[in-house]
Amino acid sequence: MTELSLVKRMAENVLKCSTEYLSSHLDYDEVLKRRATDVTRRIDMVAEEALDAAIIEEGISARIISEELGEHIVPAGKEPEYTLIMDPIDGSANLSMGIPYYCTSLALSKKTQNATFADIDAGAVAAVWGKTFYASKGQGAFYDGERLATKEHPEKPRYVLYSFGVGPIPKNIISLVEKKCLTRTMGSVALDMSQVARGSLDAIIDSRDRISGYDIMAASLILKEAGGVLTGYAGNDMSTMPVNAGSFSILGAANSELHKKLLESLH
């Protein structure tokens, strides 16, 4: 059993359990907890419980860092073999509106204490449409068996942009989107970053200081292994950031040259 096959299997299983609950229960969208910038829905907790069950079924132990339950060890009291970082439903607002653009994002590190972005060994982003993006450190990134490679579209760049909802939109972002480009805001950062890895999009920009490690941990490895570049919004290196980091912004691009151009345009 490789770490990649393990994390891919568990991500797909968590999404499957969530989808089955969604199709048979009317309370999936019930809000259980409200936070300053987000909410916890019942479907999120179903996914969290599905991961705990998957860990026990796989016969492993893990330190889990997740959006809804924070940090805990499963099975309780065991010495963890891995650190797992999960966003159970990335794009839950889309799910609640019946928009089929959401995923389960799961990353794995063999380091069980103080893991950083650089320590991620495998990651999987299981999409609602039944296919999965996945990567293993140093082994490339894949989508449903197809090897991924980023691609730039210089004639009309394609950007995913998250900049509204927290104060005024930065003027440099307004100037950027006024140029000849296509912009989208699709509601699932993990899927969006994976689409950059696939070559469907050129870059992802989020200036809101609302990203957390669990949002992008798997997708960041997928993007890197496909040839892309990811930094903080100001160009800062993220490799030493802890996996449980929160409230930061990002700039991800198909290649280093495009990343440099965007960085210069945004600052």
Domain end, chosen from 147, 172, 194, is at: 147
Question: 107 near 207, Cβ under 8 Å?
Answer: no
pLDDT per position as a tens digit, 78-127: 999 999 999 999 998 898 888 999 999 999 999 999 999 999 999 999 99
Separation of alpha carbons 11 and 186, rounded Å: 21
* Residue predicted with more confidence, 222 or 40: 222
30 belongs to an annotated ligand binding site: no
48 belongs to an annotated ligand binding site: no
pLDDT per position as a tens digit, 19-51: 998 888 887 777 777 766 667 788 888 999 999
152 belongs to an annotated ligand binding site: no
Q: Which two tokens stand for residue 107?
A: 């990353």
Question: 206 near 215, Cβ under 8 Å?
Answer: no
Dihedral through CA 119, CA 121, CA 126, CA 131, nearest 10?
140
90 belongs to an annotated ligand binding site: yes
Separation of alpha carbons 208 and 205, rounded Å: 9
Strand ranges, E, within 45-121: 62-66, 70-74, 82-90, 103-109
**Residues of the chain above pLDDT 70, percent:** 92
Give pLDDT, residue 3. Answer: 96
Query: Residue 137: which CATH number?
Result: 3.30.540.10
Give pLDDT, residue 177. Answer: 65
- Determine how many CB atoms are found less than 10 A away from the CB of residue 154: 8
For the cut 90, the answer to whether the pLDDT of residue 166 exceeds it is no
Mean pLDDT calculated for residue range 166-181: 67
- Please tell me whether residues 115 and 245 are part of one structural domain: no
Give pLDDT, residue 265. Answer: 84
Query: Residue 216: which CATH number?
Result: 3.40.190.80
Residue 152 within a domain: no
For the cut 90, the answer to whether the pLDDT of residue 214 exceeds it is yes
The residue range of the domain holding 213 is: 158-266
- Please tell me whether residues 12 and 136 are part of one structural domain: yes
Give pLDDT, residue 108. Answer: 99
Give pLDDT, residue 67. Answer: 78
- Please tell me whether residues 107 and 227 are part of one structural domain: no
- Please tell me whether residues 165 and 247 are part of one structural domain: yes
87 belongs to an annotated ligand binding site: yes
